Amino acid sequence: MKADPVGVRTGTFYLDGDRAAAEGAIAAGCRFFAGYPITPSTECAEHISERFPEVGGIFIQMEDEIASITAIIGAAWGGARSMTVTSGPGVSLMMENIGLAAMLETPCVVANVQRGGPSTGLPTMVGQADVMQARWGSHGDYEIIAYSPQSPQEAFDFTVKAFNMAEKYRTPVMVLLDECVGHMVEKVVIPPADAIEVEPRRLTDAAKGEYLPYAYGDDLVPDMAEAGMGYRFHVTGLTHDERGYPEMSVRCQDWLVPRLVAKIRQSADDIVEFDEENADGADVVVVSYGISARVSRMAIDLAREEGIEVGFFRLRTIWPFPEKRIAELAKKIKAFVVVEINLGQIFYEVERCARGQCETLLSPHAGGGVHDPEDILKVIEKGAKAK
Amino acid sequence: MSPKGIPEAVIAAVSGEEHPIAPFLRMDRMPHIWCSTCGIGTTVKALAAAFEKLGTDLDKVAIVSGIGCTGRVAGYVRLDSFHTTHGRPIPFATGLKLANPELDVIVFSGDGDLVAIGGNHFIHAARRNMDIKVVCVNNFIYGMTGGQVAPTTPLTALTSTTPYGNAEPPFNLCHLAAACGANYVARWTALHVRRLTKAFTEILVKPGFCFVEIITPCSTLYARKNRLGTGLDIMKYYHDNTVIEHGADPAEADIVFGGPIICGKFVERDRPTWLEYQDQHLTERLGEKYFRAKALQEACER
Amino acid sequence: MKFWRTPLDADKMKIPRGELHIIVERCKGCAFCVEYCPRGVLEMSDEFNSKGYHPPKAVEPENCVNCDLCEMICPEFAIYCLTVEEEAVPAEGGKGS
């Protein structure tokens, strides 16, 4: 279905990534936002608080991030497309109920504008050290979808995608911006509403009394009911059967949790997005995402001037991870160079997928700033000498 | 038939028959997990009775619970019902209500859930006067985890984590709710089934944050650790020691170990709800541009 | 029924009658219904149900006036009253008449 024109502010704008993400959310039909102020994400909440009264959304600033994530889950079950935005410390607080959203299979979007950590760290300065938290942060087994925009334009585009994937797979989806992308101001083109595809909610059409909240088909995604539709359904964060009733058993756990994981894993080809440039035939492939991807481009240019065959692989989605393509490339190249503003997170994913077929090298950064392209270049040079 | 006209067969055990509450409950989940003499089931019955009295459209009611013994209520009522995480039913209910203001959203949970881990949400929802109904079953203890001290445990009471007696002053929940701005505040016990039912009928039609505290026996843990006898003994204690004082200052209604329990409807007022205030304020500020302005105008004209 | 002073509409007054139903297997023996029945209809049984609890039994079922208190107070949803067809009250004159 097409986006509701009420929420689409078509035109060309000069926007920061936080506000672009806000516009993406509104364009995708987000009409409930609960949040708590935290640098460097606050501009997104501020923008939504200004826009919502005119487009039919409810904005509420909650007492903390725990309340914010929980309120958006409640709102999703009340029939709204919902979102919250925060940064590292806030995501840490939200993790419990991101798990609830995964368990109840609640479509919702969480944007994390990453800053330097751990703890309070560098509130106003960039980091990319929350990517593993996004994947593994809540307890128990589940899969997540996460996008990583590298520009305000992508902050808009990927937030729309995040809402669509949340509805399609009934899962919380994370948009992992970083402080640089969140605060950088660039041209953002918002297309007309009829050019924006919006995934409708998978509402059940079962007869009343016959609806089973967690019965599923081949895509492993159950159809949803919303409160007030008359189905009088029950959902629980406890391990539950297809009626949504708690069942504390090995059998039921084995029926439920592998499906929660499989519904994302088996559709990875539909979800995973990456940009690839000159990777076939390269000796070294640089793997990066977010603001680091843009910094890497300069290092790649420098390396090419030195005659090194460098390819580029940019993650648009971080989770699910593009395991297949990384494994294929590993067989053909000498080395991967992973550029990220942390001390090795996606690096280990790449190394895992490479399975020793090539070298995997890290160009780390502890956070607070972006890489010096010269530092990345040194790692690329090292990679070119591998094997 | 007996000479008195009462069919014997009916008086005798009739296990195949169903209770009149059946349409309100998920009978396929009975028996429930609550211990013998636990009062939670009684509070659920009172809620069902209130719905019946009001003729509420049950398709438009949602119940949200947290974690704990009372948290299981959501799983037993045949309504749209959400069993959420520990302490979080109030923010969940906030989102649910604001996304669909047509719903009657009731939070049904325990004292540990609502005012220990969920205390921050509790005070802020009351401050905002969010249009949700909060029912707190207060048994003075953490039941499901085995009888630990709660923020409602009276001073000196024994629990599994206060083996020498509780040395922390408890919350007076009604005072807390009233101080934070709740529109309706009442306290009853599991013995006061009629008054409790009446309180439910009142909060279901009252806009804003409404709070009902229900003092309830926990014979398995609280009564056993404190040598208070059986659940029935506790009900008798309520009978002998409850003082009903409508309109009493909730600040004066502290609960003291072994002392009287002041019950009644303490607060009933008409602060605008969160959404009413938003509507009023944003209509003033934005006029026709406010998305709900037109709908509100139409509602006024009707 | 005995009146202190016979009301003028005594012939129209009816005592409600209840038909008591006990779901023995669901009972957990708390005795709330026995304690709080205002008409002394119930008593704890010596029998056990399959869970090992003593359920209540109706010893004076004809005294049930369908007040519903047992149904309201039962935490197990194990006891209830149904209305039975009401009978006219045979009025006896009180002292004051």
Res C85: pLDDT: 75
Res B10: pLDDT: 42
Torsion sign across C-alpha atoms A43, A47, A48, A49: positive
Chain C residues lying within 8 Å of B197, measured CB to CB: 72
pLDDT digits (tens, 9 = 90+) for C41-73: 999 999 999 999 999 999 999 999 999 999 999
Q: Do the Cβ atoms of C74 and B41 come within 8 Å?
A: yes
Question: Chain A contact for B282, CB < 8 A?
Answer: yes
Q: Do the Cβ atoms of B26 and A64 come within 8 Å?
A: no
Asked if pLDDT for residue A204 goes beyond 90, the answer is yes
CB A23 within 8 A of CB A15: yes
CA B241 – CA B235 distance, rounded (Å): 10
pLDDT digits (tens, 9 = 90+) for C74-84: 999 999 999 98
**A-B C-beta contacts closer than 8 Å:** 152
The two tokens of residue B193 are 């089934």
Q: Does domain C14-85 have CATH number 3.40.50.720?
A: no
Nearest to B262 by CA among B273, B271, B275, B249: B249
pLDDT digits (tens, 9 = 90+) for B130-165: 999 999 999 999 999 999 999 999 999 999 999 999
Question: Chain A contact for B95, CB < 8 A?
Answer: yes
Res B13: pLDDT: 40
The pLDDT-based confidence of B302 (bands split at 50, 70, 90) is: low
Chain B residues lying within 8 Å of C31, measured CB to CB: 232
Contacts of A216 (CB under 8 A, 6+ apart): A222, A259, A263
Number of Cβ within 10 Å of residue B284's Cβ equals 9
Percent of chain B topping pLDDT 90 = 90
Q: Do the Cβ atoms of A76 and B93 come within 8 Å?
A: no
pLDDT digits (tens, 9 = 90+) for A11-42: 999 999 999 999 999 999 999 999 999 999 99
Percent of chain A topping pLDDT 90 = 99
- Among chain C residues, CA nearest to B37: C30
pLDDT digits (tens, 9 = 90+) for B4-59: 433 333 433 444 578 999 999 999 999 999 999 999 999 999 999 999 999 999 99
Chain B residues lying within 8 Å of A140, measured CB to CB: none
CB A64 within 8 A of CB A34: no
The pLDDT-based confidence of C89 (bands split at 50, 70, 90) is: low
Question: Chain B contact for C69, CB < 8 A?
Answer: yes
- Domain spans, chain B: 32-271, 273-302
Chain B residues lying within 8 Å of A51, measured CB to CB: none
> What does DSSP say about strands B184-189 and B210-215: parallel, antiparallel, or unpaired?
parallel
Nearest to B140 by CA among B79, B199, B221, B197: B221
- For chain A, residues classed under CATH 3.40.50.920 are 275-384
Asked if pLDDT for residue C96 goes beyond 50, the answer is no
Q: A335 in helix, strand or coil?
A: strand
Q: Which one of C22, C35, C69 has the shortest CB-CB distance to B13?
A: C22
Nearest to C34 by CA among C50, C20, C48: C20
User: Helical H runs in B147-230?
Assistant: 173-180, 193-205, 224-225
Backbone angles phi, psi at A167, to 5 degrees: -75, -45
Q: Do the Cβ atoms of B4 and C62 come within 8 Å?
A: yes
The two tokens of residue B158 are 């024994």
Q: Which of A229-233, A250-254, B3-7, C47-51 has the lowest mean pLDDT?
A: B3-7
Q: Do the Cβ atoms of A58 and B98 come within 8 Å?
A: yes
Number of Cβ within 10 Å of residue A374's Cβ equals 10
- For chain A, residues classed under CATH 3.40.50.970 are 5-195
Res C86: pLDDT: 66
Res B2: pLDDT: 37
* SS3 per residue for C54-74: CCEEECCHHHCCCCCHHHHHC
Average pLDDT over residues A46-57: 96
Res C10: pLDDT: 79
- Domain spans, chain C: 14-85
Contacts of A133 (CB under 8 A, 6+ apart): A88, A91, A92, A95
Q: B191 in helix, strand or coil?
A: coil
Percent of chain A topping pLDDT 70 = 100
Backbone angles phi, psi at B159, to 5 degrees: -140, 175
End-to-end CA distance of chain B: 57
- ipTM of the complex in this document: 0.97
Q: Which CATH class is domain B32-271?
A: alpha beta
CA B43 – CA C72 distance, rounded (Å): 9
CB A363 within 8 A of CB A338: yes
Superfamily of domain A5-195: Thiamin diphosphate (ThDP)-binding fold, Pyr/PP domains (3.40.50.970)
For B191, what's the count of Cα atoms within 13 Å in the CB-facing half-sphere? Answer: 22
The two tokens of residue A354 are 């490479």
User: How near does any CA of chain C get to the CA of B113, in Å?
Assistant: 21
Q: Which one of A96, A227, A233 has the shortest CB-CB distance to B85?
A: A96
Residues of B with CB under 8 A from a CB of C: 2, 4-7, 10-11, 13-15, 17, 19-21, 25, 30-32, 34-42, 45-46, 49, 190-191, 193-194, 197, 230-232, 235-236
Nearest to A303 by CA among A328, A280, A278, A322: A278
Asked if pLDDT for residue A144 goes beyond 60, the answer is yes
Chains with 3+ CB–CB pairs under 8 A to B are A, C
Average pLDDT over residues B186-191: 98
Asked if pLDDT for residue A275 goes beyond 50, the answer is yes
- Among chain A residues, CA nearest to B76: A234
Res C14: pLDDT: 82
Question: Chain A contact for B26, CB < 8 A?
Answer: yes
Res C88: pLDDT: 56
Torsion sign across C-alpha atoms B36, B39, B43, B45: positive
CA A114 – CA B102 distance, rounded (Å): 37
Using a threshold of 3 CB pairs under 8 A, tell whether chains A and C touch.
no
User: Helical H runs in chain B?
Assistant: 8-11, 40-54, 73-76, 89-99, 111, 119-128, 173-180, 193-205, 224-225, 231-241, 274-286, 293-301
User: How near does any CA of chain B get to the CA of C57, in Å?
Assistant: 8
pLDDT digits (tens, 9 = 90+) for B96-136: 999 999 999 999 999 999 999 999 999 999 999 999 999 99
CB C72 within 8 A of CB B42: yes
- Among chain C residues, CA nearest to B5: C62
pTM: 0.95
Nearest to C29 by CA among C7, C48, C1: C48
CATH of A275-384, one of 3.40.50.10890, 3.90.1150.10, 3.30.70.2190, 3.40.50.920: 3.40.50.920
CA B75 – CA B138 distance, rounded (Å): 19
CA angle, B236 then B242 then B245, to 5°: 160
Res A369: pLDDT: 97
Q: Work out the burial of residue A280: count CB atoms within 10 Å of its CB; fewer than 13 is exposed, 13-18 middle, 19 or more buried.
A: exposed
Mutate to test the interface with B, among A69, A81, A232, A245 (most CBs of B within 10 A): A232
Chain C residues lying within 8 Å of B35, measured CB to CB: 28
CA A157 – CA A226 distance, rounded (Å): 27
3-state helix, strand, coil in chain B (%, to 5): 45, 20, 40
Res A83: pLDDT: 98
The two tokens of residue A359 are 């070298």
Average pLDDT over residues A321-349: 98
Q: Work out the burial of residue B119: count CB atoms within 10 Å of its CB; fewer than 13 is exposed, 13-18 middle, 19 or more buried.
A: middle
Q: Do the Cβ atoms of C26 and B34 come within 8 Å?
A: no
CA–CA distances in Å: residue A50 to residues A9, A19, A22, A53, A73 = 13, 11, 11, 7, 22
pLDDT digits (tens, 9 = 90+) for A83-98: 999 999 999 999 999 9
Phi-psi region of C2 (alpha: psi -120 to 50; beta: other; left: phi over 0): beta
Q: Do the Cβ atoms of C77 and B14 come within 8 Å?
A: no
Nearest to C30 by CA among C54, C50, C47: C54
Q: Which one of C24, C80, C82 has the shortest CB-CB distance to B13?
A: C24
User: How near does any CA of chain C get to the CA of B3, in Å?
Assistant: 10
Q: Do the Cβ atoms of C72 and B6 come within 8 Å?
A: no
The pLDDT-based confidence of A120 (bands split at 50, 70, 90) is: very high
